[in-house]
Structure 1
């Protein structure tokens, strides 16, 4: 086994806190991951992890070695990036994350085209509406809607995305057509909420006559999948707050109708996060530039 592979596996075990999770991340079997750690411990002559059948934790030596191992991996990544920059021939695996709606509609359709232009780059696209930790989850770039909490990462803005509140004609026929946030704040409507473990935003922020107003909204249904909220709204279950690009076709067809037009939602920032490195990986830079150009075109076309 390569000593470098052993170090890479050690770092992922340390960051994920699980041998099986690290094995999945490295696309090897748990037995191979365990063997790499054992071989590394044998080479160093110390135990890096305390392992039981139920838990795994780093030893003091493991914590010390982790800092050095990260520097080794970063140095190799920078060296490879320098070569790729000179040869203009990026290679390797690119780990990308995005919210479900953004990934399905704005990124995934263009991945085959990117792969055709850069045949030596493999793309691993992970879609989730929950917040992701780039470092802990081994991501190169993460697209997101909103504002990031981690100030140590670099941010590249894509656009300010218009958001709308919408419901089906069938729902409005029964419950009425609200025009302002005050009408939904009284509990007269079933609001469909996007919530997930660790979510910090439980209010809808709407634009009032004198600025932004936060409304506490109530609803019987919530999900951590934005497309589920769209399906519920189409089925007449309630009112959903959605980025315009996700539901533009439904608005055009009349399957969904804008509501609360007098106090619309504030726009949401779409951007991408990537780690701070002295030499940015060329494949990461190329992927961002490639996707951002197509995302901007798609947003303009969808909101026209």
Structure 2
């Protein structure tokens, strides 16, 4: 088949949900894009899309052809990158995904530094708190807290990720400060949501003791966006558990403060995720090494912001406790 451009147009149209948008991306007029798709369907003797004036929807044949087409195009792109590697070419587009808070507050600055070194590199940046499907979304590199269950991905550990319970100073001044997890029943809490459900089970440890507090969702502020959770916390709407990477600047500036500093929340180290079976282009490999260096430097600076755990108590080992609400909670303020 000599119509590789038609195949690329089909893949882009499926990804964008619009033939005209795919045409614009590839430098084609709507008429030219429509003609090229019609030519591809005629050669395949199959209809790839059900088209209306408002919607472009893949047929069963289109879905089957899309999977094969994406793999074929990726193989060709990887082959081209492999040839360029011999020239030590660090250029082209890197599709990278990161969580919303970290992406806005830190990663974008680092990417600017990287582009200053390698001006021929371009980025397609996706900011989302959900776990990206790297295959379907064609992501080269994802920065995530924790490790994925998907065995087709390689997880390269970049840095530790202490998570802290924090609040705005004005909230603490007005409502006081909890001393242990059981006290949280008297405070407003803000939780992060995810496709798997809200993360409202907060587990803390102090030396050999552990306590779990379950935030009542009916009275909590809740968002699937980490930036929204951070902003609500800054506004003084309640307490939230945040990664130190997301709130470091706020802690330094005094906009937020750590509460219950002698209780630790479980870590989820920062990892870079990438495909196990795909060729790692020079631009991706060099970016990964660059980010590894940046994370190592930043982690050393951030360690000073996290209070050290208290010394282990003498005597018998402390017994784990489960904290439950002891009294009705106030309704959290709304945005």
TM-score, normalisation: structure 1: 0.84
Partner of 2:22: 23
Instruction: Check 1:37–1:166 CA distance in 2 against 1; reply closer, same or farther (3 A cut).
Output: same
Report Cα offsets for 1:207-229 as digits up to 9, x if no partner. Answer: 25556654311353223332332
Whether 1:233 aligns to 2:212 is: no
Partner of 2:327: none
Task: Check the 8 A contact 1:171/1:237 in 2, yes or no.
Answer: yes
Report Cα offsets for 1:134-190 as digits up to 9, x if no partner. Answer: 222222111112332433222111112111101123222332211222221x3x111
- Cα RMSD over matched residues? 3.0
Partner of 1:201: 199
Output aligned runs, 1:172-183, within 5 Å.
172-183=172-183
Unaligned runs of 5+ in 1: none
Output aligned runs, 1:81-120, within 5 Å.
81-120=81-120
| Matched residue SS, 1:174 | helix
For residues 33 and 183 of structure 2, the distance between their equivalents in structure 1, rounded to whole angstroms, comes to 56
The number of residues matched between the two structures is 300
Report Cα offsets for 1:36-77 as digits up to 9, x if no partner. Answer: 432321332321223344654444433443343233213212
Output aligned runs, 1:54-203, within 5 Å.
56-184=56-184, 186=185, 188-197=186-195, 199=197, 201-203=199-201
Unaligned runs of 5+ in 2: 305-335
Deviation of 1:13 (Å): 4.1
Whether 1:291 aligns to 2:291 is: yes
Structure 1, 133-142 or 158-167: larger mean CA deviation: 133-142
For residues 126 and 55 of structure 1, the distance between their equivalents in structure 2, rounded to whole angstroms, comes to 24
Structure 1, 165-174 or 265-274: larger mean CA deviation: 165-174
Instruction: Check 1:86–1:194 CA distance in 2 against 1; reply closer, same or farther (3 A cut).
Output: same
Partner of 1:215: 213
Task: Check the 8 A contact 2:192/2:198 in 1, yes or no.
Answer: no
For residues 198 and 21 of structure 1, the distance between their equivalents in structure 2, rounded to whole angstroms, comes to 35
Partner of 2:37: 37
TM-score, normalisation: structure 2: 0.77
Task: Check the 8 A contact 2:180/2:260 in 1, yes or no.
Answer: yes
Deviation of 1:18 (Å): 2.3
Q: Which structure: larger Rg?
A: 2
For residues 33 and 291 of structure 2, the distance between their equivalents in structure 1, rounded to whole angstroms, comes to 34
Deviation of 1:108 (Å): 1.0
